[in-house]
């Protein structure tokens, strides 16, 4: 037994010596100088490592692009400025997301010296969610989301109705293709984003990009409608001859959500427990109902984002 141990050590030592010699020869060939440091500018980091920003480049990441654009519209609704959001699935994997919020500002940004619209669409960490008074609550990637969608799309068009004017700008792979241009007048306000994901990013080895899952999107948008009471969210699928339309609108918030979750159960308690109040400028909304089902169901959200692993908010509620 001892001999075997010694043999293993000697063998490891020989391999270590060979590895050391190999590393020395590699070090003599490779260099680590200033010229070897690569600086990725603009949205290049997103295209280089998309999984860091949207989780994956598969079907999950593809749907995440839609969620990020929708999150911006929902932020407007949660701030009290939007009442209607529409998500429309078009041919060739294009998606259009429209809201009737305030519209992204188009005036010149004091820091970038570019249009605020162009800044939001092409600069990471650019948005009104970093301490300004524009949004008290927001979801998404906080100033990263819509620019990431832009970076990962072969085509993106942003349309803004604001101050009675309609503006638009087009992009490709995070780069501007046009200036911010006027395109008529508007009687309403709002933002419309039309984008087409880049097949270079989202196509697997067989070269075919996966299709959007209407049911999956409907479930996500239904949850968002429950969490953003009083906001109408419409999902329209134009990819087939007959449009498939789902409308979601709930006045009761989580109260309506609980009613939906227990509609096939037998409640034990007569009334659903529900509370919604602000505490130190933070909105807390909670609801629960006991049923005869022995298996409990717990859903928790923070800033409208589902937290499947729970967290302090769920622990405190328990």
CATH code at position 138 = 3.30.565.10
Confidence tier at 144 by pLDDT (50, 70, 90): low
Does residue 208 sit in the same domain as residue 283? Answer: no
Does residue 150 sit in the same domain as residue 291? Answer: no
d(CA 184, CA 167): 8
Where a domain ends, among 214, 248, 282? 248
What is the predicted pLDDT for the residue at 241? 85
Does residue 89 sit in the same domain as residue 116? Answer: yes
> In the numeric block, which tokens belong to residue 36?
């070897």
* 181: in domain: yes
Does residue 275 sit in the same domain as residue 173? Answer: no
Could you tell me what percent of the chain has a pLDDT over 90?
59
* 271: in domain: yes
What is the predicted pLDDT for the residue at 177? 97
Q: How many domains does the chain have?
A: 2
Q: What are phi and psi of 258, to 5 degrees?
A: -65, -40
d(CA 2, CA 23): 31
What is the predicted pLDDT for the residue at 18? 53
Per residue in 200-219, pLDDT tens? 999 877 778 999 999 999 99
* 28: in domain: no
Helix, strand or coil, per DSSP, at residue 6? helix
Is pLDDT at 131 greater than 70 in this prediction? Answer: no
C-alpha distances out from residue 208 to 46, 96, 156, 238, 240, Å: 21, 21, 20, 20, 19
Does residue 103 sit in the same domain as residue 172? Answer: yes
Does residue 293 sit in the same domain as residue 227? Answer: no
Cβ burial, residue 128 (10 Å; 0-12/13-18/19+): middle
Where a domain ends, among 248, 281, 304? 248
**Contact assessment for residue 87 and residue 236, using Cβ atoms and an 8 Å cutoff:** yes
Per residue in 39-93, pLDDT tens? 556 788 899 999 898 989 999 999 999 999 999 999 999 889 999 999 999 999 9
In which domain, by residue range, is 276 found? 254-317
* 177: in domain: yes
Does residue 244 sit in the same domain as residue 258? Answer: no
> In the numeric block, which tokens belong to residue 238?
């134009």
CATH code at position 307 = 3.30.230.10
Helix, strand or coil, per DSSP, at residue 231? coil
């Amino acid at each position: 037994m001892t001999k075997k141990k010694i043999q293993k050590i000697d063998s490891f030592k020989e391999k270590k010596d060979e590895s050391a010699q190999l590393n020395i020869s590699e070090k003599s060939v490779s260099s680590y100088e200033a010229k070897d440091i690569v600086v990725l500018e603009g949205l290049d980091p997103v295209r280089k490592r998309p999984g860091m920003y949207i989780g994956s480049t598969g079907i999950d990441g593809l749907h995440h692009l839609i969620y990020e654009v929708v999150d911006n519209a929902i932020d407007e609704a949660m701030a009290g400025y939007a009442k209607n959001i529409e998500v429309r699935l078009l041919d060739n994997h294009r998606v259009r997301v429209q809201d009737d919020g305030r519209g992204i500002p188009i005036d010149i940004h004091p820091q970038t010296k570019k249009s605020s619209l162009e800044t939001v669409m092409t600069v990471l960490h650019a948005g009104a969610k970093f301490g300004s008074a524009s949004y008290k609550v927001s979801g998404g990637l906080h100033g990263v989301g819509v620019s990431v969608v832009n970076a990962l799309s072969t085509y993106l068009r942003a349309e803004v109705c604001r101050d009675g004017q309609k503006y638009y700008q087009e992009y490709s792979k995070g780069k501007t293709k046009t200036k911010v241009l006027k395109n008529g007048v508007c009687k309403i306000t709002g933002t419309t984003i039309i984008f087409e994901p880049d097949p270079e990013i989202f196509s697997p080895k067989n070269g075919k990009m996966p299709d959007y899952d209407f049911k999956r999107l409907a479930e996500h948008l239904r949850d968002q409608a429950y969490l953003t009471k009083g906001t109408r969210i419409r999902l329209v699928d134009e990819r087939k001859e007959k449009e498939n339309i789902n409308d979601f609108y709930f006045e009761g918030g989580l109260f309506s959500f609980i009613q939906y979750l227990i509609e096939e159960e037998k409640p034990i308690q007569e009334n659903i427990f529900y509370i919604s109040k602000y505490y130190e400028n933070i909105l807390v909304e909670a609801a629960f109902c006991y049923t005869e089902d022995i298996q409990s169901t717990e859903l928790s959200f923070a800033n409208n984002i589902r937290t499947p692993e729970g967290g302090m908010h769920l622990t405190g509620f328990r």
